[in-house]
Amino acid sequence: MLFRLSKNSFVRVYDDFGYIVNQCTKKDRIYNKIGSLFLNKISRVPKDIKEVVKTVHTLFHNVSYEVIENDFCEFLNDLEKNKFIVTGYSIEELISKDCSFTYSFSDTTSDSFPDTFKQTNLPKTKKVLNNKFYKNPTLFALQIELTTHCNENCIHCYIPNSRRGNILDFKTVCSVLDQARILKTLALSFSGGEPLLHPDFSEIIQYARENDFSVSVLTNLTYSVSLLT
């Protein structure tokens, strides 16, 4: 049986906890160190459950293979039920189960997940993140103003006409994203002006996704651009 991260989900593992979030459902989870060990095994690359359990088993000599397998399957079941991952017997099945968007996501109401992996002292995700980043400030979310160009001329716009026409070049954007990746930044928001007017917009989005960022675009929705496939 194979598993992999669903395309709308993102994982970040820190020293003391692990975090997973689905950008569509807005559901998230905080895991303790044991849960983080399992979480670290989930990526966009399909993996075989038995192979992963074998790897984890080498870290826990005094625990039987069967116990680790049960725990790992319980862990994956919860994640799959809540759309964080997909499982299947073939790559095609994984792809067919990984939908881009559906309003039925709002039906994934179960917030219970196995106690073994829970961050027990600080049960609320927001509290754990606030606590972590208050003590160790880092760049968890980043907004990048790609250009001051815009195809509109709103009276309330905060960009004065004298500042219209600036473009952040592609290399600089990539360099910022590279640094953000090292800092384990999760969420990127591209704004402007109108970000879709950036000449390299689709390449920037592609680069951001290849580097596993959760991406949002703040646009006025009056302009369309073809994204690379």
Q: Which of 128, 192, 195, 198 binds ligand SF4 (CB under 6 A)?
A: 192
Q: Smallest gap, in angstroms, from Cβ of residue 204 to ligand SF4?
A: 17
> Pattern 199-228, binding to ligand SF4, x per CB under 6 A?
---------------------x--------
Q: Which residues contact 19 (CB under 8 A, 6 or more apart)?
A: 11, 12, 13, 28, 29, 30, 31, 125, 129, 186
CB neighbour list of residue 173: distance below 8 Å, 6 or more residues apart:
144, 146, 200, 204, 207
Return the number of other C-beta atoms located less than 10 Å from residue 71's C-beta. Answer: 20
Which residue number, 95 or 157, has a Cβ lying nearer to ligand SF4?
Answer: 157
**Binding status of residue 152 toward ligand SF4 by CB under 6 A:** yes
Which member of 20, 21, 86, 194 binds ligand SF4 (CB under 6 A)?
194
The least distance separating ligand SF4 from the CB of residue 221, rounded to whole angstroms, comes to 9
**Is 27 in contact with 220 (CB distance < 8 Å)?**
no
- Token pair belonging to 194: 């109108």
* Token couple for 2: 């194979």
Binding residue (CB under 6 A) for ligand SF4 from 62, 109, 112, 153: 153
CB of 131 to ligand SF4, least distance (A): 35
Q: Does 157 bind ligand SF4 (CB under 6 A)?
A: yes
Q: Is 100 in the site for ligand SF4 (CB under 6 A)?
A: no
Find, among 92, 90, 94, the residue nearest to 7 by Cα.
94
3 state DSSP class of 11: strand
Q: Rule CB under 6 A: is residue 154 a binding residue for ligand SF4?
A: yes
What is the contact surface with ligand SF4 in residues (CB under 6 A)?
150, 152-154, 157, 159, 192-194, 220
